[in-house]
């Protein structure tokens, strides 16, 4: 299914930009579809310029552009801006957003242009934080790749009057939670694959992460034991009020949970 990119937002005319993530053969494929388009490597004039041969490409799209049907949805993300926003400003903004500051003043590179990252970052962050991150951009459109849901196109609008932020972006709490959601779902999926489990109860498995955080359980083998218990007994560790002695060692806590669930499963009403 080809994305439907609207030419207007709240009465304002828009220009769309495609950011195509690098994959083997991408440059040849993309350049083969270019017809009088303005195109630039995203990494140009950034700290990643030494990786130019693997840079994503930014394409300024025409109205109702047929190239859209040729761009791979799993590797392309779309941004819009009001028509009066200069291309140079859009490129500067997209390049600046490659830099990010995490909590604790740690800085790094943020690959927001990868649809599997964008799916969580834009889908689960607060509307206000997304609007401020977008800055001079008015909306973002991506093929949703959230593991726990069916794939579909996601569309998030910003506020057209947002003040343009030209400094390194500091991740907000909602954005950190959104990106952590990706890590959690990947970890659950990997565990389920290793256990040959096809049907995942996502809410119950996520309760394991909450429980482990609350009780400082960090060992992967203990986390895996709790996941098996939740899967076998069909319980949520958030919903069950286990009377846990917090002074116990993590392994003792897991053993106590095992004992309680085993007893409950054999209780005859």
Nearest C-alpha neighbor of 257 from the set 268, 238, 30: 238
Q: What percent of the chain has pLDDT over 70?
A: 94
Same domain (yes/no): 209, 258: yes
Domain that residue 224 falls in: 201-266
The verdict on residue 190 lying in a domain is: no
Domain boundary residue, one of 125, 151, 172? 172
Domain boundary residue, one of 151, 172, 193? 172
| pLDDT at residue 240 is higher than 70 | no
Contact 153, 142 (CB under 8 A): yes
pLDDT at 160: 62
The verdict on residue 88 lying in a domain is: yes
pLDDT at 98: 97
pLDDT at 260: 86
Q: How many other CB atoms are there within 10 angstroms of residue 250's CB atom? A: 15
Same domain (yes/no): 134, 240: no
The verdict on residue 18 lying in a domain is: yes
The Cα 55–Cα 162 span in angstroms is: 28
The verdict on residue 262 lying in a domain is: yes
In the predicted model, what is the mean pLDDT of residues 242-269? 79
- The distance in angstroms from the start CA to the end CA of the chain is 52
| pLDDT at residue 266 is higher than 60 | no
CB < 8 Å & 24+ apart, contacts of 128-131:
129/172, 129/174, 129/175, 130/156, 130/158, 131/158, 131/159, 131/162
Domain boundary residue, one of 133, 157, 172? 172
Same domain (yes/no): 64, 160: yes
The Cα 99–Cα 108 span in angstroms is: 6
The verdict on residue 184 lying in a domain is: no
> Collapsing DSSP states into helix, strand and coil, what is residue 162?
coil
Same domain (yes/no): 18, 89: yes
pLDDT, tens digit, 9 for 90 and up, residues 83-112 = 999 999 999 999 999 999 987 778 999 999
* pTM of the model as a whole: 0.89
Task: Decide which of 102 and 47 is more confident.
Answer: 47
Same domain (yes/no): 145, 36: yes
Same domain (yes/no): 163, 230: no
Same domain (yes/no): 118, 23: yes
The verdict on residue 121 lying in a domain is: yes
| pLDDT at residue 269 is higher than 50 | no
pLDDT at 63: 93
Task: Decide which of 165 and 22 is more confident.
Answer: 22
Same domain (yes/no): 213, 153: no
In the predicted model, what is the mean pLDDT of residues 121-150? 95
The verdict on residue 183 lying in a domain is: no
The domain total for the chain is 2
The Cα 163–Cα 242 span in angstroms is: 48
The verdict on residue 1 lying in a domain is: no
Same domain (yes/no): 154, 248: no
Same domain (yes/no): 21, 114: yes
Same domain (yes/no): 78, 164: yes
Residue 52 has φ and ψ, to the nearest 5°, of -55, -35
Same domain (yes/no): 90, 140: yes
């Amino acid at each position: 299914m080809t994305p439907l990119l609207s030419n207007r937002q709240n009465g304002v005319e828009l220009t769309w930009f495609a950011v195509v993530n690098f994959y083997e053969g991408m440059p040849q494929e993309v350049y083969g579809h270019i017809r009088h388009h303005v195109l630039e490597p995203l990494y140009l004039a950034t700290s990643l310029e030494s990786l130019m041969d693997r840079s994503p490409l930014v394409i300024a799209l025409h109205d109702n552009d047929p190239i859209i049907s040729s761009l791979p949805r799993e590797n392309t993300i779309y941004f819009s801006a009001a028509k009066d926003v200069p291309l140079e400003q859009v490129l500067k903004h997209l390049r600046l957003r490659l830099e990010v500051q995490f909590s604790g003043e740690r800085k790094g590179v943020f690959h927001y242009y990868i649809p599997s990252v964008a799916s969580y970052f834009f889908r689960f962050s607060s509307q206000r934080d997304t609007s401020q991150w977008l800055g001079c951009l008015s909306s973002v459109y991506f093929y949703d790749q959230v593991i726990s849901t069916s794939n579909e196109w996601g569309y998030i609008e910003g506020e057209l009057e947002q003040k343009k932020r030209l400094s390194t972006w500091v991740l907000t709490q909602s954005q950190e939670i959104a990106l952590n959601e990706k890590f959690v779902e990947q970890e659950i999926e990997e565990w389920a694959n290793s256990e040959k489990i096809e049907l995942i109860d996502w809410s119950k498995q996520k309760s394991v992460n909450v429980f482990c955080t609350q009780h400082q359980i960090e060992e992967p083998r203990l986390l895996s034991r709790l996941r098996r218990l939740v899967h076998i007994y069909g319980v949520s560790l958030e919903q069950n009020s286990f009377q846990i002695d917090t002074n116990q060692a993590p392994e003792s806590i897991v053993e106590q949970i095992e004992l309680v669930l085993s007893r409950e499963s054999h209780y005859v009403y």
